[in-house]
Amino acid sequence: MVFDVLTIFPHLLDSYLEDSILWREQKKKIIKIRFHDIRAYSKDKHKKVDDTPYGGGAGMVMTPQPIFDCMKAAKRKNRRAPVIYLTPTGKLFDYKMAKRLAKKPGLILLCGRYEGIDERIRKLCVDEEISIGNYVLTGGELPAMVIIDAITRLLPGALGDERSAHEDSFTEALNGKKEYPHYTKPREFQGLKVPPILLTGDHAKINAWRKKKLK
């Protein structure tokens, strides 16, 4: 799956990507992430990408021309990918949405900055608007990465042990619930013991216990 990320900070996430599981998935060619520098497309002689809002008010707004031209270039490379604008006013991102988007051949993710983008870009280019939570961040880069990460976990072959994605919180395997507690070695830590049932080897009883512990 190919992700094209449109941003004015194309290197912001370099170190995160190099050190995360997403790097391995890129090497395995399960995903490809391309960053497009919106500023590089600005026709302004100072490469400006923002301006004051019509009607007045605080803050700057991202101008439409650089985004529009950058989008055209991204679309040429990722023709069947829907365009998603990350915005706090969008639909709240969740597991169901990640599953639906994981079926797409690719995604074009538009990251805003400042007060956001000129409304005409929404009308001309955007297919869907997504929020990662009811709070305001300074830019769309982290939301884009959250979406890429959540989707990548769901792609076939992406995780070493595929069971772990299928039995994660919110999945059908857990009836949409949040998962049970995990324990590993040692058997006792700081006076806290592993629940004895997990040491019995009785898988029917262990499964029943885990089911009871789902939240």
The catalytic residue positions are 88, 115, 153, 168
Site mask for ligand SAM (CB under 6 A), range 105-124, x = bound:
------xxx-xx--------
Parallel, antiparallel, or unpaired for β 61-62 and 50-51?
antiparallel
3-state secondary structure of 125: helix
CB of 4 to ligand SAM, least distance (A): 15
Q: How would you label 71-110 residue by residue, b for 16+ Cβ within 10 Å and e otherwise?
A: beebeeebeebebbbbbbebeebeeebbeebbeeebbbbb
- Whose Cβ is closer to ligand SAM: residue 87's or residue 152's? 87
Name the residue among 51, 62, 1, 55 with its Cα closest to residue 31. 1
Residue 137 sits in the site that holds ligand SAM (CB under 6 A)? yes
Determine the residue with CB nearest ligand SAM: 112
- CA distances (Å), origin 24, targets 20, 95, 109: 8, 22, 21
- CA distances (Å), origin 93, targets 88, 132, 144, 172, 178: 10, 5, 11, 17, 17
Residue 89 sits in the site that holds ligand SAM (CB under 6 A)? yes
Q: Where would I find the beta strands (DSSP E) of the chain?
A: 2-7, 32-37, 50-51, 61-62, 83-92, 106-111, 128-131, 188-189, 192-193
CB of 149 to ligand SAM, least distance (A): 14
CB of 75 to ligand SAM, least distance (A): 19
- Whose Cβ is closer to ligand SAM: residue 10's or residue 112's? 112
Residue 138 sits in the site that holds ligand SAM (CB under 6 A)? yes
Site mask for ligand SAM (CB under 6 A), range 58-87, x = bound:
----------------------------xx
Binding segment (CB under 6 A) for ligand SAM, from list 5-13, 18-26, 129-137, 190-198: 129-137
CB of 179 to ligand SAM, least distance (A): 25
Binding site for ligand SAM (CB under 6 A): 86-89, 111-113, 115-116, 131-133, 135-140, 143
